[in-house]
Amino acid sequence: MKYMLGIIGAGKIGEAILSGALAKKLLSPSDVILSVRTEQHRKNLEEKYHVTAVLSNREVARQSEMLLIAVKPRTIFEVLQEIADIIPEETVLISTAAGVTLESMQTRFTKKVALIRAMPNLGVSVGEGMTALAPARSTDDSSVQKVKRLFEAVGRALVLDEQYMDAVTGLSGSGPAYVYLIIEALADGGVKMGLPREVSIELAAQTVLGAAKTVLVTGEHPAKLKDQVTTPAGSTIDGLMELEDGGLRVTLIKAVVKASERAHQLLHK
Ligand SMILES: NC(=O)c1ccc[n+]([C@@H]2O[C@H](COP(=O)([O-])OP(=O)(O)OC[C@H]3O[C@@H](n4cnc5c(N)ncnc54)[C@H](OP(=O)(O)O)[C@@H]3O)[C@@H](O)[C@H]2O)c1
């Protein structure tokens, strides 16, 4: 096959993965083909990334070793139907569509394709994504590792059983939205105490980034790190008491539960 990676649906997620893989030199522009729907978009992406950009999904499917389909869930079956007869045997096909199961995709193909379901998040657009990969049982490990390396070019990636994908969707898939809300609220607190808005947002965002990094780098339990910041009779314990009183912890737990349940409902629609 002519191209190592083909992308159908170069929107927010598709373009972010492309941009990360090129920036990390995991792929060079000549390794990539993608399809878009309008000539203007095609021209923009070709000029920006110097990849082969076409207007035909079939052309991409026919020539790609790894095929990333990053269209909306409501469009994916239309795309699978369009490419099913032309896709070469053994293509590694990755779908980022939320709530679309491996089984429902598998039934669209009569030939053997190596299917992998991926749940990335918006962090991929800045190289700090979190992606869970659920391979079909028949997908070989070397294909899984290849796809893992692709997503590691734009953040972290781990391989999980498909049964966990709803929970992943409710936690890390939707999670950036929860954290944006938290950053906004922390910044509002700073503004209430007289800080300029931009300063407040920077303080809040970098604080969240630093806290996240200490968890990942040290591998410590978050509760232990929290204890390190909390001086006896200091100011932090007063702040924590307010958060407990406001039910922050249980509210976040419930947010993950609700979003996971919704992901599951979408799946069975
Ligand atoms: N955004 C997230 O945070 C996130 C997180 C996890 C998973 N996902 C999943 O990733 C997928 C993509 O999400 P997104 O946020 O990147 O959406 P998006 O920005 O809307 O991108 C979708 C892209 O698909 C293109 N497209 C639509 N129909 C097509 C077709 N028939 N053939 C070829 N291309 C087509 C669209 O082109 P036009 O611009 O021309 O319409 C658009 O560029 C979704 O399934 C979503 O569930 C997204």
Average per-residue pLDDT in the chain?
Answer: 96
- Average pLDDT of the residues in 84-107: 94
pLDDT band at 267 (very low <50, low <70, confident <90, very high): low
3-165 and 173-267: same fold?
A: no
Alpha carbon nearest to ligand 1 atom 18, residue: 11
The pocket around ligand 1, CB under 6 angstroms, is made up of 8-14, 35-38, 41, 57, 70-73, 75, 78-79, 96-98, 119-122, 173
Say whether 163 sits in a helix, a strand or coil: helix
If you measure from the C-alpha of residue 130 to the centroid of ligand 1, how many angstroms do you get, rounded to a whole number?
Answer: 18
Residue 98 has pLDDT above 60, yes or no: yes
Confidence (pLDDT) at 149: 96
- CATH number for the segment(s) 3-165: 3.40.50.720
User: Where are the domains positioned within the chain?
Assistant: 3-165, 173-267
Q: Write out pLDDT tens, residues 134-168.
A: 999 999 999 999 999 999 999 999 999 999 999 99
Alpha carbon nearest to ligand 1 atom 35, residue: 9
CATH classification number, 173-267, choose in 3.20.20.70, 2.40.30.10, 1.20.1250.20, 1.10.3730.10: 1.10.3730.10
Confidence (pLDDT) at 60: 98
Ligand 1 atom closest to the Cα of residue 98 is 47
> Cβ-count burial of 153 within 10 angstroms (0-12 exposed, 13-18 middle, 19+ buried)?
buried
- Average pLDDT of the residues in 51-76: 96
Q: Write out pLDDT tens, residues 39-59.
A: 999 999 999 999 999 999 999
Residue 125 has pLDDT above 70, yes or no: yes
Q: What is the Cα–Cα distance from 56 to 67, expressed in whole angstroms?
A: 14
Q: Quick check: 81 and 248 in contact, CB under 8 A?
A: no
Q: Write out pLDDT tens, residues 192-239.
A: 999 999 999 999 999 999 999 999 999 999 999 999 999 999 999 999
If you measure from the C-alpha of residue 71 to the centroid of ligand 1, how many angstroms do you get, rounded to a whole number?
Answer: 4
Ligand 1 atom closest to the Cα of residue 38 is 40
Ligand 1 atom closest to the Cα of residue 82 is 31
Start-end of H helices in the chain: 12-23, 39-49, 57-63, 73-83, 102-106, 141-152, 165-168, 175-192, 197-218, 222-229, 235-245, 248-267
CA-nearest of 79, 62, 71, 116 to 97 is: 71
If you measure from the C-alpha of residue 8 to the centroid of ligand 1, how many angstroms do you get, rounded to a whole number?
Answer: 9
Q: Are strands 52-54 and 129-135 parallel, antiparallel or unpaired?
A: unpaired
Say whether 78 sits in a helix, a strand or coil: helix
CA 58 to chain centre: 25
Q: Which amino acid is residue 168, in one-letter code?
A: V
Q: Rounded to two decimals, what is the model's pTM?
A: 0.94
Pocket test for ligand 1, best of 7, 18, 35, 37 (most atoms within 8 A of CB): 37
What sign does the CA torsion over 253, 135, 129, 181 have? Answer: negative
Confidence (pLDDT) at 183: 98
